Chain A
Amino acid sequence: MNDLERIGSSFRDPSGFLFKRDGVLYRQVNTSYRKAYDHLISSGLYDALVTSHKMVAHSDTNEPPAEPDRAYKVIQPELMPMISYPYEWSFSEMKDAALLTLEIGRMALQKNMILKDASAYNIQFLDGKPILIDTLSFDIYHEGQLWDGYRQFCQHFLAPLALASLVDIRLMQLMRVYIDGTPLDLASELLPGKTKFGTGGLNIHIHMHARAEKRYAQSEALPTAGVKMDKASLLRIYDSLEKTIHPLKWEPAGTEWGNYYNITNYSDDSLKKKGEIVGKFIEQIAPKTAWDLGANNGLFSREASRRGVITVASDIDPAAVEQNYLAIKQTGEKNLLPLIIDLTNPSSSLGWFNAERESFFERGPVDLVIALALIHHLAISNNVPLDSIAELFSELANWATVEFVPKSDSQVKRLLATRKDIFDQYTVEGFEKAFSTYFTCEQKESIPNSERILYLFKKK
């Protein structure tokens, strides 16, 4: 019996959909999309996008379709090692995803196709670069056509970037609340007044856009019927969006964690030793996938990624994640994906049927969880019991590399300085006992010149 499963995020576009059979991911292309699909291939657009690593490759397959009545063909897309969502991206990840979308729009027009949507959820990250994963994003371009994806682009990319850059980085989290991107009227209300004047891109694409949407929301007659726009004008809109996005910057000011490695009580030598121990543990268990939780700027995540382990480096701090992404961009490192995740409130499942966007944990399990200098934040700052932390790690992975930071450590002293110490279980013994319920301890090593201990746990 075949195990057939439709993918929860793939139902809006009538051109086709994703499904899994026996655990393998396929995409059905519907007959209604036949002409466009054939044009994508025959025009050379597919090859141009795939060879420049802007779109995911796929192979033809003889796999039977999931819905034979409307099937044109079934293709098998190359798999992304890890799926992420815009509310988990750092500023520059979002910006690069936006610029890629515009670049793809331009490439499509050269081959007489048009991006029919501009969803941030169609972009994923592979080896530190954004990549389009929706092969069915293109329609055949008809001379005079306007861009249907314009509003979506502004909601999914421009509004969050402008808000992050000009108001507050935390407003990128609005993407978590609004499944189809930040509403433009809300963005317009929140953006500073100086963006409302003249022919500035933000005035046109956000403020005027929001006003026009409101004005025509109720109109039944369509004043745009019969309106044409030539290709040059369409390209000018892409250019204008790009010019609006380019100067948007975000540089963290006075971040709590951004310079964490400069303010810890670690000596350079201890840091190096810590990295060596983590590296040794990783070599010992040879995982394929790892999640480094509370990874900061990914210093130790690289012990995994540079050994070929597909690694997610998650942290609550947008500055650390940004720093990590910029470093990956600069060095061209592979296998490492930095994401903003608050482990005490990780991304939940969202959208229709609660199935369009997977929760962070649904995207696991992985082979290895790395949790360095994290336990004291969960246990002391967030009052999470140690055995609950151990239970969580055991759900996420078969192996865990965990650092225990005792109360005598200056970082823990700092956390306890402003509150009553109600954590009598928070001792080496209490920690080992809590983890022993779910794990066996395979290795235990003290980090030289510190009071910290590194453990390698194997799930029971």
Chain B
Amino acid sequence: MFNILFKVNYYLNPGTGSLIVQLIAAGIIGSIGILIKVFWARIKAFFKGEKYVPQQVEATDPVIEETEINE
């Protein structure tokens, strides 16, 4: 399994809390981007007088594997 915390060449202690916030930050920033995209599609559809058809949004949010963050 890919394990980020025990890779070679670490000299800074990134800090667990810091890593978690990074994930949250990436998630929050990411989901806002997605929300606006969806919303924008709705607005466009409204003005064009079309019916809004939701599209599959490709998620590029952080992939959290085999771990549960209990915050």
Question: A residues bordering B, Cβ < 8 Å?
Answer: 12-15, 32-33, 36, 116-117, 139, 142, 144-152, 199, 204-205, 208-209, 211-217, 219, 222-230, 232-234, 236-237, 239-240
Q: Which residues of A contact B28 (CB under 8 A)?
A: 199, 204
The 3 closest A-B pairs by CB, nearest first: A212-B17, A233-B26, A213-B17
How far, in angstroms, from A14 to B21 measured CA to CA in the complex?
27
How far, in angstroms, from A151 to B25 measured CA to CA in the complex?
13
A207, closest chain B residue (CB) = B21
Most chain-A Cβ atoms within 10 A of its Cβ — which of B11, B21, B66, B71?
B21
Given the contacts A223-B70, A225-B4, A230 and B62 also touching, CB distance less than 8 Å: yes
The one of B5, B18, B61, B63 in contact with A209, judged by C-beta atoms closer than 8 angstroms, is B18
Tell whether, in the assembled complex, residue B26 and residue A224 are in contact, meaning their CB atoms are under 8 Å apart: no
Given the contacts A12-B11, A14-B9, A226 and B17 also touching, CB distance less than 8 Å: no
The one of A33, A219, A239 in contact with B16, judged by C-beta atoms closer than 8 angstroms, is A219
The one of B4, B9, B21 in contact with A32, judged by C-beta atoms closer than 8 angstroms, is B9
Smallest Cβ distance from B66 to chain A, in angstroms?
5
Q: Which residues of A contact B24 (CB under 8 A)?
A: 204, 208, 212
Which residues of B from 18 to 71 have beta carbons under 8 Å from A? 18-30, 32-33, 60-71
B20, closest chain A residue (CB) = A212
The one of A32, A211, A226 in contact with B3, judged by C-beta atoms closer than 8 angstroms, is A226
Tell whether, in the assembled complex, residue B12 and residue A116 are in contact, meaning their CB atoms are under 8 Å apart: yes
How far, in angstroms, from A216 to B28 measured CA to CA in the complex?
20
Q: Which residues of A contact B21 (CB under 8 A)?
A: 150, 204-205, 208-209, 212
Tell whether, in the assembled complex, residue B16 and residue A224 are in contact, meaning their CB atoms are under 8 Å apart: yes
B15, closest chain A residue (CB) = A151
B70, closest chain A residue (CB) = A223
How far, in angstroms, from A224 to B65 measured CA to CA in the complex?
10
Tell whether, in the assembled complex, residue A232 and residue B60 are in contact, meaning their CB atoms are under 8 Å apart: yes
The one of B11, B15, B22 in contact with A116, judged by C-beta atoms closer than 8 angstroms, is B11
How far, in angstroms, from A229 to B21 measured CA to CA in the complex?
12
Given the contacts A212-B18, A230-B62, A236 and B11 also touching, CB distance less than 8 Å: no
Q: Which residues of A contact B23 (CB under 8 A)?
A: 146, 224, 227, 229
How far, in angstroms, from A142 to B65 measured CA to CA in the complex?
16
Smallest Cβ distance from A212 to chain B, in angstroms?
3
Tell whether, in the assembled complex, residue B30 and residue A209 are in contact, meaning their CB atoms are under 8 Å apart: no
